[in-house]
Amino acid sequence: MKKTLKIFIVLALFAIKAKAQILTPVNWSYAAKKTSATEAVVFLKANIDEGWHVYSQFVKEGGPIKTTFTFTASPEYTLVGKTIEPKPIVRMEKVFGMDVAFFEGSAIFQQKIKLKKGQTTVKGSLEYMTCNDKQCLPPTTEEFSIPIK
């Protein structure tokens, strides 16, 4: 009887651990490139697992959570224009009842920066939502810090 109880407890713990695993189908990486002594471009790259997608910055109301970039204000730099994204895939998603723009595989977002100082660090956060054909994960916020040398 005690042996059966121990086996049951061990199996229950394995089941709980397997259920508690957190899915992370999107990994972000960051880089920067100076284009002149006073300008740079920061790159925010989403590496997206097969079968998953991340939504565009330009999603209509009533759709999924759009990808949003928030840059921390700094006296060392200013943003030039808006964050640029690659051309998305646009498809009708039944769950939202509308055409939705998204990315699969990878997507590199770019933000131009006007430098007021030769070296700086661009900081901020991004929010995104990822889905596959079966489920959507809750929106995720990630902070970033990108050195410009």
CATH of residue 112's domain is 2.60.40.1250
Q: Could you tell me if residue 105 is inside a domain?
A: yes
pLDDT number for residue 8: 38
Amino acid at the residue 128: Y
Determine contact, residues 39/112, Cβ cutoff 8 Å: yes
- Rounded CA gap, 131 and 87, in Å? 19
Q: Could you tell me if residue 90 is inside a domain?
A: yes
Q: Could you tell me if residue 12 is inside a domain?
A: no
Q: Could you tell me if residue 39 is inside a domain?
A: yes
- Rounded CA gap, 42 and 40, in Å? 7
In the chain, how many domains are there?
1
Q: Could you tell me if residue 18 is inside a domain?
A: no
**pLDDT by residue (tens digit) across 14-63?**
433 444 468 899 999 999 999 999 999 999 999 999 999 999 999 999 99
**pLDDT by residue (tens digit) across 114-146?**
999 889 999 999 999 999 989 999 999 999 999
Amino acid at the residue 21: Q
- Domain range holding 91? 25-148
Q: Could you tell me if residue 15 is inside a domain?
A: no
